C-alpha cells in the first residue's frame, strides 16, 4: 500500500530473471554462435568471395535430396515408434507402484550412454546375425536404425511422459467416469489432451535427436543410408568440402529452429497444476488385469532395452564358451606399455568428473534459461523474446564436426584459448545436455500458477526467494530428469570425441574406441568389459542423482 515503494524499486530496472537470461545467452554466444559464425564465414567466403556451387551440389543431386528426405521420414517414424512403445509403459508406470519400478526405470535409461559401435555389438550378441526381431530380419539396416532409435530414446519419452502423467489429477477422470464415460472415452477426451504438453515436448526432443542422428546411421545403417548429419561429417571430415558441409549444417539448424518455433508458440499455455497428485494417484495393482498389465510392461521393457545389455555383459564374461574374468583382468595391464593406456579407474574418474561438471553447467544454465523464458512469456511477451526458446534448442541438432571446426578457428586466442583446454570437454557436453534440461523443466515451471508467485512477490519476497521457496521445490522432479539427461549425454560423449583436438583425457568411451581400433580377440573382449563398466557407472550415477534430490527436498 506504500506508494513510494514502487519508484524505489524501479531504479533497478533489470529484473533478476533477465539477468538469469544473460547466463545462457552469453554461454551460447561464446561457445555456440561465435564458433559457428567463424566456420560459416570461412566456408562461404574463403577469399572474400562467395561461390554458390554448394547450392547446385545439394539441389541438383538426387542423392542429396534422397538423404534430406530420408532424414525427415526416418526421424518421424522413429519418433512415432518410440511413442507407441513408451505411452503404454508410461501409463502403467505413472499409475501403479510395484517392486522394482525404480530399477526398471534406471535400466531403461542405460542404453542412452552406449556408443553406437557397442550397441551394434549388443544387438548382434542378443539377436544373432540372422536373428529376427518382432518378425523382421535384424540384419536389415532400416530395422536396425529404427530399433536403435527406439532403444536410445525410449527412456527420454518414458521419463518425460511418466513424470507429467503422474501429476495429473484423478478428479476430472473420475468425474467423467461417473457421468458414464467408458475408459476409452476418458483416455481420448480427457487424459490425452491433458497429456499433450508432455507428449509433444518428448516427441519434439526425440524427433530432433533422430533427425540429427549420426553414429547409429553411420554404424548400424551402413553406407546405403545417410542422414544430413552423417553427410556433413562425410563432407567435412573426409572430402573437406567445407561450403557444402556448412550449407547442410545451416539447413539442419534452420529446420530445427522453424520446428521449435512453431512448437513453442503452441505450447505456451501450461498444464494443470497438481504438485502432490502423484502420491494420491499411485496404487498397487490389485485386480488380475492390472497385474497382467504391470507384468506385461516389465517384460516389454526387459525385452526392448535390457536384453541387449545383458547379452553384452554375458559376452564380456565369456571366454571360450565358459565363464571367465579374463577380459576384466586384462583391463588392468598395459601390455604394450602404450602411453595411451587407460587404467579403468582413471577412465571412470574422468568420465564421472566430466559428467558431473557438464551436469552442473547444464543445470545451472538450463534453469536460468527456463526461468528467463517463463518470465518473457508472462511479463514481456513480444515477438523477439519468443525466439529464445527455439534458439536454445539448436545445439541438439548442430553437427559436432562443424562446431568442432569452428572452435578450432575461433577460440584460439587468449583469453579464450580453449582449443586444447580440458574445460572444453564438459562445456561441449553441457551444450548438448542443456536443451534436454530446458525441455524437461519448462513444462513443470510453467505449470506453477502465476498467482502463486505473484502473491509471494506482493508479500515482499524477492525473485530469488520465490525461486528458492516456490519454484525450486516444485520443479525438483523435472530437474532430476534434466540432470539425468545431461549426465548421460556427457557419459556417452555424443559426437564429442570428434568435437575437439584433445590432450589425453581418458574417458570410458575413449577407452572403448581405443580397444576396438586394433584386431585381436583380447581387444574385443576388453571393449565389451569396459562397456559393461560404463553401464554400471551410469546406473550408479542415476541412483546418486535420485538420492541427491530426495535428501535435499524430502518432506515437501
Partner 1 sequence: MKIKIDKMIKSTIVLLSLCIAMISLFACSNQAQDQTRKQDQTQKQATAIDKSVAMPVITIMTHDSFSVSKELIVKSQVKLGVKIVILKSGDAGEALNKAILSKNNPLADIFYGVDNTFLSRALKADMFVPYAPENIDSVDNALKLDSENRLNPVDYGDVCLNYDIKWFKANDKDVPTMLEDLIKPGYKDLLVVQNPATSSPGMAFLLATISRFGQDGYIDYWKKLKANGLLVTNGWKEAYWGKFTAASEGNRPIVVSYASSPSAEVFYSETKLTQAPTGVVIENGSAFRQIEFAGILKGTKNLSLAKKTMDFILSKDFQEDIPLQMFVFPANQTAQLPEVFEKYAKITTVPALIDPQLIDTKRDIWIREWTENILQ
Cα→Cα distances 97→107, 281, 346, Å: 17, 10, 39
> CA nearest 506: which of 334, 390, 387?
334
Q: How many residues bind partner 1 (CB under 8 A)?
A: 84
The reply to whether 378 sits near partner 1 by the rule CB under 8 A is no
DSSP 8-class letter at 96: B
Among 3, 49, 63, 99, the residue binding partner 1 under the rule CB under 8 A is: 63
Contact flag: residue 240 with partner 1 (CB under 8 A): yes
Figure out which of the listed residues 334, 380, 455, 547 binds partner 1, where binding follows CB under 8 A: 334
Select the residue interacting with partner 1 from 420, 455, 462, 540 (CB under 8 A).
Answer: 420
In the complex, the smallest distance separating the C-beta of residue 295 from partner 1, rounded to whole angstroms, is: 31
Which of the residues 510 through 539 are near partner 1 (CB under 8 A)? 513-514, 516-524
Interactions with partner 1, residue window 307-326 (CB under 8 A): 319, 326
* Paired residues of 137 in beta bridges: 132
Would you say 532 and 547 are in contact if contact means Cβ atoms under 8 Å apart?
no
Burial of 285 (0-12, 13-18, 19+ CB in 10 A): middle
- Residue 409 interacts with partner 1 (CB under 8 A): yes or no: yes
Least distance from partner 1 to the Cβ atom of residue 422, Å: 5
422 is a contact residue toward partner 1 (CB under 8 A): yes
Asked if 97 interacts with partner 1 (CB under 8 A), we say no
Interactions with partner 1, residue window 160-219 (CB under 8 A): 218-219
462 counts as binding partner 1 under rule CB under 8 A: no
Q: Between residue 30 and residue 49, which ones bind partner 1 under the rule CB under 8 A?
A: 42
- Cα–chain-centroid distance for residue 513? 22
Smallest CA-to-CA distance from 173 within 160, 162, 163, 183 is with 183
Region from 158-166, 195-203, 351-359, 379-387 binding partner 1, contact rule CB under 8 A: 351-359
Residue choice 356, 376, 508, 534 for contact with partner 1 (CB under 8 A):
356
Told to check if 502 binds partner 1 by CB under 8 A, we report yes
Q: Tell me whether residue 197 or residue 308 sits nearer to partner 1 (CB atom).
A: 308
Tell me the closest approach of the beta carbon of residue 504 to partner 1, in angstroms.
Answer: 7
**List 84, 175, 239, 543, residue binding partner 1 (CB under 8 A):** 239
| CB nearer partner 1, residue 162 or residue 410 | 410
Which run of H or of E encompasses 74? helix 62-95
DSSP notation for 184-228: HHHIIIIIHHHHHHHHHHHHHHHHHHHHT--HHIIIII-TT---H
Residue 124 binds partner 1, judged by CB under 8 A: yes
β partners of residue 136: 133
**Neighbour-count burial of 163, counting CB atoms closer than 10 A to its CB (0-12 exposed, 13-18 middle, 19+ buried):** buried
Residue with cell 545417410: 226
- Could you tell me which stretch among 272-280, 281-289, 327-335, 534-542 binds partner 1 (CB under 8 A)? 327-335
The piece of 27-35, 82-90, 91-99, 333-341 that touches partner 1 (CB under 8 A) is 333-341
CA 451, 456, 460, 461 torsion-angle sign: negative
What are the beta bridge partners of residue 283? 96
Please report how close the Cβ of residue 224 comes to partner 1 at its closest, in angstroms: 5
Farthest CA pair distance, the chain: 84
136/262 with CB nearer partner 1 = 136
Query: Shortest Cβ distance from residue 309 to partner 1 (Å)?
Result: 17
Binding of residue 381 to partner 1 (CB under 8 A): no
Return the sign of the alpha-carbon dihedral for residues 78, 200, 479, 359.
positive
Q: Cα(500)–Cα(425) distance, rounded to whole angstroms? A: 8
Amino acid at each position: 500500500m506504500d506508494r513510494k515503494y514502487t519508484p524505489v524499486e524501479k531504479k533497478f530496472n533489470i529484473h533478476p530473471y533477465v539477468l538469469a537470461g544473460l547466463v545462457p545467452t552469453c554461454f551460447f554466444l561464446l561457445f555456440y554462435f561465435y564458433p559457428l559464425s567463424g566456420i560459416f564465414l570461412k566456408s562461404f567466403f574463403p577469399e572474400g568471395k562467395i561461390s554458390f556451387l554448394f547450392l547446385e551440389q545439394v539441389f541438383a543431386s538426387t542423392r542429396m535430396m534422397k538423404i534430406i528426405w530420408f532424414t525427415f521420414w526416418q526421424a518421424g517414424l522413429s519418433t512415432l515408434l518410440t511413442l507407441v512403445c513408451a505411452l503404454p509403459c508410461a501409463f502403467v508406470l505413472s499409475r501403479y507402484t510395484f517392486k522394482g519400478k525404480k530399477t526398471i526405470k534406471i535400466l531403461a535409461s542405460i542404453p542412452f550412454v552406449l556408443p553406437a559401435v557397442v550397441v551394434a555389438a549388443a544387438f548382434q550378441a542378443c539377436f544373432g546375425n540372422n536373428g529376427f526381431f518382432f518378425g523382421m530380419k535384424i540384419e536389415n539396416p532400416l530395422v536396425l536404425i529404427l530399433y536403435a532409435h527406439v532403444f536410445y530414446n525410449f527412456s527420454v519419452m518414458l521419463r518425460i511422459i511418466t513424470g507429467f502423467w503422474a501429476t495429473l489429477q484423478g478428479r476430472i477422470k473420475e468425474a467423467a467416469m461417473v457421468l458414464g464415460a467408458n475408459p476409452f472415452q476418458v483416455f481420448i477426451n480427457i487424459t490425452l489432451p491433458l497429456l499433450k504438453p508432455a507428449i509433444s515436448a518428448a516427441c519434439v526432443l526425440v524427433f530432433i535427436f533422430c533427425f540429427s542422428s549420426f553414429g547409429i546411421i553411420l554404424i548400424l545403417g551402413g553406407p546405403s543410408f545417410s542422414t544430413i548429419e552423417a553427410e556433413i561429417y562425410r563432407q567435412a571430415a573426409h572430402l573437406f568440402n567445407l561450403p557444402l558441409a556448412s550449407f547442410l549444417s545451416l539447413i539442419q539448424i534452420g529446420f530445427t529452429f522453424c520446428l521449435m518455433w512453431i512448437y513453442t508458440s503452441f505450447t505456451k499455455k501450461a498444464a494443470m497444476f497438481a504438485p502432490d497428485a502423484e502420491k494420491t494417484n499411485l496404487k498397487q495393482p490389485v485386480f488380475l488385469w492390472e497385474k497382467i498389465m504391470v507384468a506385461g510392461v516389465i517384460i516389454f521393457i526387459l525385452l526392448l532395452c535390457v536384453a541387449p545389455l545383458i547379452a553384452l555383459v554375458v559376452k564380456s564374461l565369456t571366454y571360450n564358451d565358459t565363464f571367465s574374468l579374463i577380459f576384466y583382468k586384462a583391463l588392468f595391464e598395459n601390455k604394450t606399455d602404450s602411453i595411451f593406456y587407460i587404467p579403468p579407474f582413471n577412465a571412470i574418474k574422468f568420465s564421472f568428473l566430466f559428467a558431473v561438471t557438464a551436469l552442473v553447467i547444464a543445470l545451472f544454465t538450463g534453469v536460468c534459461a527456463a526461468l528467463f523464458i517463463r518470465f518473457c512469456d508472462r511479463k514481456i511477451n513480444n515477438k523477439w523474446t519468443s525466439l529464445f526458446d527455439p534458439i536454445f534448442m539448436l545445439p541438439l541438432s548442430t553437427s559436432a564436426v562443424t562446431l568442432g571446426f569452428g572452435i578450432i578457428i575461433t577460440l584460439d586466442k587468449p583469453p579464450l584459448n580453449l582449443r586444447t583446454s580440458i574445460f572444453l570437454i564438459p562445456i561441449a557436453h553441457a551444450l548438448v545436455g542443456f536443451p534436454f534440461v530446458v525441455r524437461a523443466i519448462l513444462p513443470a515451471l510453467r505449470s506453477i500458477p502465476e498467482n502463486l508467485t505473484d502473491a509471494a512477490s506482493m508479500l515482499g519476497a524477492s525473485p530469488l526467494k520465490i525461486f528458492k521457496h516456490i519454484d525450486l521445490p516444485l520443479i525438483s522432479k523435472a530437474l532430476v530428469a534434466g540432470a539425468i539427461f545431461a549426465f548421460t549425454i556427457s557419459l556417452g560423449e555424443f559426437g564429442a570425441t570428434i568435437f575437439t583436438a584433445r590432450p589425453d583425457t581418458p574417458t570410458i568411451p575413449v577407452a572403448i574406441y581405443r580397444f576396438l581400433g586394433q584386431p585381436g580377440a583380447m581387444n574385443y573382449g576388453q571393449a565389451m568389459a569396459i562397456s559393461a563398466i560404463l553401464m554400471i557407472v551410469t546406473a550408479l550415477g542415476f541412483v546418486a542423482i535420485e538420492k541427491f534430490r530426495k535428501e535435499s527436498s524430502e518432506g515437501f
